[in-house]
Amino acid sequence: MDRARRGKELIANKNSMIYLDLKDIIKDHALPFLPAKSLFRFSGVCKDWKMQIRSPFFAHKQSTSFSDVSGFFLASPSIPPSFVSIDSMAYGVPDPSLMFLPEPVDIRASCNGLLCCQGREGYKAYYVCNAVTKQWKKLPKPNASHGSDPAVVLIFKPSLFNFVAEYKLVCAFPSVDFEGGHEFEIYSSKEGSWRISGEIIYGSGSIMPRSGVYANDIIYWRIPSGRILAFDLRMERAQLLYGHGYHDSVLGVIDGKLCSTRSQGNGITVSVLSNAYTNTMQMYSKARAWESKLSINLTPAPGASMPGSSTHNLLFASGNLVLYRIGSKLYSYNLRTKETLFVSDGPYNGTFVPHVNSLVEI
């Protein structure tokens, strides 16, 4: 009798999850995958949800679970930053102009919910902030001069094991001591200091600011000549890549690999870097550096008016998202769902910096 009773109790315990309230299932297994703006709205559902969403542990879990690009900061040197949301009901920030920072800033880079900004006054200090939580940190002054529009890249990879965000900034800057060369300075939040790498590369010419992309321990920048500058962060070695650095292309990361996307006719073509070392191989090698991944026709969203011009101005292509402009209208295309959405309408003068609506704590 006792053995039979214990067997029934064991079965009941295994099936106990079936009888959980729906709100508890959503709280524990769905909320961490939602963007920050939606979570702030859902904190009004009940006291239990409010306490859950406001806890530091939940913020950490959300920052490692949600990684979709939610919108773009429009960065322009003449006006304060503004925010363009992919879906204004789901994504947003409380202060798009970043007035919570101690001085007016220019946005230089972003990564997984963090922004790298630079002050417009004094020695133009760097700040790393979360525009959702309004948390920020002022970084120490770099050792080298990075120029008026630095080619800086922010690197932040959320980890379940790090409750405080650990990030790096890497800037490629013209060398003062070696004419025609570029050097690299690296900031580590773990060390709390800047360090100039011993690597110097020649022949790269100028580097396009805000073009930097990070993938698999390598940072890539576009160069106006059509080439791409690659800096291996682990080995601290730099090289120049040839091909697919077209003036109308954008760099991004798809499935963990560097991709180059460019407008072509009424659509776009995406090429993936498959071999970065073809320039070191023997002559007549058949190894190809780039492989064509896909071609997509881009059209306005259903119900949106078609502008007079059908020329696409490609603005962003990374992950599952493509952002492009036809005339004054912005559209997004989701590579996963194949869905085209009308985003916004208006004159846009500046650079679009992607943003992830994350609760990550600095």
Please determine, for residue 17, whether its predicted confidence score (pLDDT) is greater than 90.
no
Task: Give me 134's structure tokens.
Answer: 């309004």
For the stretch 341-352, pLDDT in tens is 999 987 788 899
Please determine, for residue 282, whether its predicted confidence score (pLDDT) is greater than 80.
no
Per the DSSP assignment, residues forming a β-bridge with 314 are: 324
Amino acid in the structure at residue 133: T
Please determine, for residue 324, whether its predicted confidence score (pLDDT) is greater than 70.
yes
Q: In what order do the strands lie in the sheet with 237-241?
A: 213-215, 218-222, 228-232, 237-241
Query: Is the model more confident about 285 or about 198?
Result: 198
d(CA 124, CA 120): 5
Residue pair 208/222 in contact by the 8 Å Cβ criterion: yes
d(CA 318, CA 316): 7
Mean pLDDT rounded to a whole number for the chain? 85
pLDDT value at residue 259: 93
Place of tokens 């879906």: 87
Other beta carbons within 10 Å of 110: 23
pLDDT value at residue 10: 47
pLDDT value at residue 285: 41
Other beta carbons within 10 Å of 172: 25
Residue pair 167/111 in contact by the 8 Å Cβ criterion: yes
* Residue 277 binned pLDDT confidence (cut-offs 50, 70, 90): low
Please determine, for residue 234, whether its predicted confidence score (pLDDT) is greater than 60.
yes
Task: Give me 168's structure tokens.
Answer: 């790096």
Task: Please state which of the ranges 71-80, 118-127, 176-185, 211-220 shows the lowest mean pLDDT.
Answer: 71-80
Please determine, for residue 22, whether its predicted confidence score (pLDDT) is greater than 80.
no
Other beta carbons within 10 Å of 77: 11
pLDDT value at residue 281: 36
d(CA 207, CA 87): 33
Q: Is CATH 2.120.10 the right assignment for the domain spanning 55-356?
A: yes
d(CA 321, CA 70): 10
pLDDT value at residue 296: 85
* Residue 149 binned pLDDT confidence (cut-offs 50, 70, 90): very high
Query: What percent of the chain stands above pLDDT 90?
Result: 55
pLDDT value at residue 32: 92
Please determine, for residue 139, whether its predicted confidence score (pLDDT) is greater than 70.
yes
Place of tokens 């997984």: 112
For the stretch 89-138, pLDDT in tens is 999 999 999 999 999 999 999 999 999 999 998 889 999 999 999 999 99
Residue pair 98/129 in contact by the 8 Å Cβ criterion: yes
Query: Is the model more confident about 334 or about 248?
Result: 334
Residue pair 50/58 in contact by the 8 Å Cβ criterion: no
For the stretch 25-76, pLDDT in tens is 777 778 999 999 999 998 887 888 888 889 999 999 999 999 999 999 998 8
Strand 237-241 and strand 228-232: pairing? antiparallel
- Helix H or strand E segment including 314: strand 313-318
Write phi, then psi, for 186 (nearest 5 degrees): -125, 130
Residue pair 53/37 in contact by the 8 Å Cβ criterion: no
Query: What percent of the chain stands above pLDDT 70?
Result: 86
Query: Is the model more confident about 67 or about 275?
Result: 67
d(CA 44, CA 91): 17
d(CA 81, CA 131): 11
Residue pair 139/95 in contact by the 8 Å Cβ criterion: no
In the chain, domain spans: 19-54, 55-356
